[in-house]
Amino acid sequence: MRTKLRRLLEKSVQTLASAGASHGAAGMASHGLAAEPAELLRDMEQGAVPAALLAVAGAATQAGLHDWRKLQKTPSADAPKPLSLGIGELSALMIGQDRLIADLRNQVVVLSREKEVLTRLLREKSETMRKDPLTGVYNRLAYEDQLHGEYQRWKRFRNPLTFLIWDIDHFKTINDRHGHAAGDEVLRGVAQQLAGRIRTTDFLARYGGEEFAMLLPGADRTAAFNVADKLRRNIAEATFSHRGVTIPVTISCGLAAFETGDSPESVFERADKALYQAKRAGRNCCWMIA
């Protein structure tokens, strides 16, 4: 493209020079051979030079556009690819990308918050499913999970672990004499008494009916028995009532400590036998089988 422009300029300059020479010859004839070059230029037509220059610029521009279009169609291997977007379009595209990134960030924040809410709801739902709706303490499902976990920890670390099973004395008589609503009140009251007087590391669940199961990790036979007997006395001394009628309530307990070779089933069986012995001994007492 540069070669063509150079040739075009040279040809245009030659044409311009020829035109100037003819005007210069006429000036020299009229003004004499001693005329100065500046005077010769003033004698030339004022529009001659600009017109020629415009012609040269126009031709050069046309040639340049022609070659530029050819380069656009067939770019060389080492030439950078021309932009297909204008500055305004490119600016709009960049603004659109910034908005898209901002929208994606907002969506990530919203999804993160929704995940936290969902996790919390699932945790609350899971906890609700593990609670007894009547008494508010843990249910049989939670008890089985807890027993399995405590048993595995006991096998690994061999720290003392004692299992207790409780049974409200003459609960059927309470229901028959005062009604099932009164029996529900007694169940709630007993659960509150038991749960409110044990450590946070201990575990209490409603096993079924009027029975409650308890795990005391870290408590050996003697310590667990002392805790159980104190709980028993507290319930016997507490006041239970329904619709203004006082209901006497006592409870019996069977205990079994985990020993070498034990399984959850064997410990439960010993504790259940101990509870049976407490019932035979007159109720309102605690019993432990070695």
The residue among 248, 172, 254 whose CA lies nearest residue 210 is: 172
Judge if 16 and 40 occupy the same domain.
Answer: yes
Q: What CATH number does residue 166 fall under?
A: 3.30.70.270
| Domain co-membership, 163 together with 272 | yes
Catalytic site residues? 210
Residue 135 lies in a domain: no
Report the pLDDT value the prediction gives residue 51, as an integer from 0 to 100: 46
pLDDT for 13: 44
Question: Taken in order 64, 69, 74, 78, is the CA torsion positive or negative?
Answer: positive
- The CA-based angle 238-239-241, given to 5 degrees, is 150
Residue range of the domain that includes 240:
140-288
Q: Looking at the predicted structure, is the pLDDT value of residue 67 above 80?
A: no
More confidently predicted of 124 and 276: 276
For residues 31 and 64, membership in a common domain is answered with yes
Structurally, the chain folds into a number of domains equal to 3
Both 40 and 110 in a single domain? no
Q: Is residue 78 part of a domain?
A: no
Establish if 273 belongs to a structural domain. Answer: yes
Whole-number pLDDT of residue 97? 85
Residue 62 pLDDT greater than 80, yes or no: no
- Looking at mean pLDDT, say which of 11-20, 88-97, 149-158 comes out highest: 149-158
Asked if 162 and 269 sit in the same domain, the reply is yes
Site of tokens 């439960």: 268
Kindly state whether residues 178 and 255 are assigned to the same domain.
yes
Beta pairing, strands 245-247 & 240-242: antiparallel
Asked if 180 and 268 sit in the same domain, the reply is: yes
| 89 and 67 part of one domain | no
Which one has a higher pLDDT value, 52 or 192?
A: 192
Q: Is pTM, for the whole model, over 0.75?
A: no
What are 140-179's pLDDT values in tens digits? 999 999 999 999 999 999 999 999 999 999 999 999 999 9
* Residues 275 and 209 placed together within one structural domain of the fold: yes
> Is residue 31 predicted with pLDDT exceeding 70?
no
